[in-house]
Amino acid sequence: MSSYFPIPPTIWIEELSLNIFGSTTFLNVPNNRLKRKIFENSHKNIIYLGLYCLKNNYWSLINVYTCRPYEFLEISRKNLNINNESMIVLVPKKKNEFPQETNNLPKPDALRIDNSPVAERSSLNFTINNNTTSYQGEYPFEMASLKKSTFLTFDILRSSLNKKVINYIIFMNILRDSSFQDDVIIEIFKPSDMKNNKKIIAKKNSYTVHKLSEIDNFNEPNVYKSNQCSFIPIMFSIDLDSKQLSVEHTHPPSELFFGSNKFKAVKILKKQWI
Amino acid sequence: MKKILKKYLPNQLIQYLFYLRNWEHNIYSLNTQININLDTNISDFFIWGKEFSKIEFVAENLRALLIGKNIEVFHILRFFSEEGEFIEEQKFSSSKFFERIKINPIKTESKYISFTHFVDSEKSLKKILEEAGLIESNDICEQNRGYTIYYPGNKNFGCSVHGNFGGISKNKFIRSKTNLKKHIYTSVYEYNKNSIYEIVFNNPTAKTISIKILFNNSKGEMILELPSLGTKFFKVKNYSGSISFESNLPICRPLLFKNPAPNFEGNFDVFHS
């Protein structure tokens, strides 16, 4: 399965008058591979990474980076003149062939050289001053190719709510088709009171950074759902005193079951909430 | 291809064929992949650390999520020593959709140990799913993933990480397997000589495993031996670049603590490498 590597958003922290900059680190090595005793294949492929952003109705190529075997490449929003929440995404390819403008984001090449289990990942980072927090993430090609999908998550990883801590939930969406830039309604409610819901507007092919309310009831997490579009939810928190950061994505409902028939049970779970 | 096969062949035969096709990389044994049902219950393998001011575990109540209302369950955390011996069990009752469990202190000299999470309830998951209309209960089981929140210094702010794949079943029949051939896993993370790292491995398989740590920039190597259900770590200082892990696990993803606890500086981090 091949993947896109998005550059996380920049988040303006009003209380500190500081930006938290998103960056992505790529390493040109297959994440997981078999060790061959004979005919060991040393990895020799140069990988080209095309950096794309949305411009009007097209994916527009900003730059192409060359990454040699075993080299790291870090792309930070700090060095790019792009809106904080606009989607910018790295597309890995084995050949330096990237269209300058395109309706369909090019298909990423896979780095894997055998069937070893792993998703192709990059390090997605958030940095304030000298403090950085990371998680190993990606946006799967299959997910970016979906025409219709649904979304369900819970903000269970928020840090304790007090005036010294701020929590954000970041909704990340990438769709290959650049014409998908419309608004998506995400409904928010408490599990115990499904009728009393709020709505926020997220965007397709974008990041939507949602600041959690300080007066919310911390003992019961919120449910976030949409029947229009899927997102990868990222929970991000900052302690204003120490500038300690925390970031993690939450599991999709499919991760709560195992087995070849698991989607039958996932369907029942989703039906309850979506 | 899988869709065409599904149309004409029995499910178990398809699974068998795909298992053979992928024989060098399978995470579970064939018996495990075929013989699961709603009575099976598997857990990730989580890390507990002695130096943290507080550790919380975020447990999902799958039964409540399925029926859309609170239902009483017991969240059971089982702890295993550095050498893989069972130490103790902590049991917490809750009816909430999610419970943020404060883990009780554990008497151990080890800096890091591992634990599993299982759920017990009066009404079984099988019964709940049957009532919701699920007819076929083979080839599905509950998977306890969950999240751990580590407080490196200040007790008001913790950093979260999701569960790492473990595949340990409730009846202690370990389902993860080792492979005959070795895999090399390289995390996409650039270690920096200005930070200190503790890289923690645990072994969810039934066999003792050996992990070779390869420092790609210095050509240095070291080896860790991990008994079944055991936990080991090593410290990285003054090193910049990438690190790979060679082992008989199909995928060897340790947990990485940057500038580990106790840490009040704000530069702590934790993630699956």
Residues of A in contact with B96 (CB under 8 A): 220
pLDDT of residue B33: 67
Structural domain of A15: 3-273
Q: Tell me if B65 and A265 make a contact (CB, 8 A cut-off).
A: no
CATH architecture of the domain covering B183-272: Sandwich (2.60)
At A4-20, the pLDDT tens digits run: 999 999 999 999 999 99
Find the closest chain A residue to B273 by CA distance: A136
**Cβ distance A203 to A173 under 8 Å?**
yes
The answer for residues whose C-beta is within 8 angstroms of residue B77's C-beta and 6 or more apart is B57, B89, B90, B91, B92, B101, B103, B115, B116, B117
Tally of domains within chain A: 1
ipTM of the complex: 0.94
Residues of A in contact with B60 (CB under 8 A): 156, 256
Q: Which parts of B25-154 fold into alpha helices (H)?
A: 30-34, 62-67, 125-131
DSSP 8-state assignment for residue B188: S
At A94-148, the pLDDT tens digits run: 999 999 999 999 999 998 888 887 778 999 999 999 899 999 999 999 999 998 8
**Cβ distance B99 to B75 under 8 Å?**
yes
How far is it, in rounded angstroms, from Cα A183 to Cα A229? Answer: 10
B70 touches chain A (CB under 8 A): yes
Third-level CATH fold of B38-169: Hypothetical Protein Tm1070; Chain: A (2.60.290)
Find the closest chain A residue to B154 by CA distance: A242
Find the closest chain A residue to B185 by CA distance: A32
User: What residue spans define the domains of chain B?
Assistant: 1-35, 38-169, 183-272
Mean pLDDT, residues B48-64 taken together: 96
How far is it, in rounded angstroms, from Cα A61 to Cα A102? Answer: 9
In order of A148, B84, B110, B116, B118, the CA distances from B89 in angstroms are 44, 14, 17, 10, 11
Instruction: Please name the amino acid found at residue B162.
Output: H
At A173-188, the pLDDT tens digits run: 999 999 999 999 999 9
The answer for residues whose C-beta is within 8 angstroms of residue B135's C-beta and 6 or more apart is none
Q: Tell me if B273 and A136 make a contact (CB, 8 A cut-off).
A: yes
Nearest residue to B145 via CA among A157, A268, A273, A189: A157
Q: In sequence order, what E strands does chain B have?
A: 41-43, 46-49, 54-60, 73-80, 86-94, 98-102, 112-120, 141-144, 147-151, 159-162, 168-169, 183-186, 197-202, 209-215, 220-226, 231-236, 243-247, 255-258, 269-272
Q: Tell me if B158 and A159 make a contact (CB, 8 A cut-off).
A: yes
pTM of the full structure: 0.94
The answer to whether the Cα torsion of B188, B158, A77, A100 is positive or negative is positive
Greater confidence, A217 or A51? A51
The answer for residues whose C-beta is within 8 angstroms of residue B113's C-beta and 6 or more apart is B47, B48, B79, B80, B81, B82, B87, B106, B231
B162 touches chain A (CB under 8 A): yes
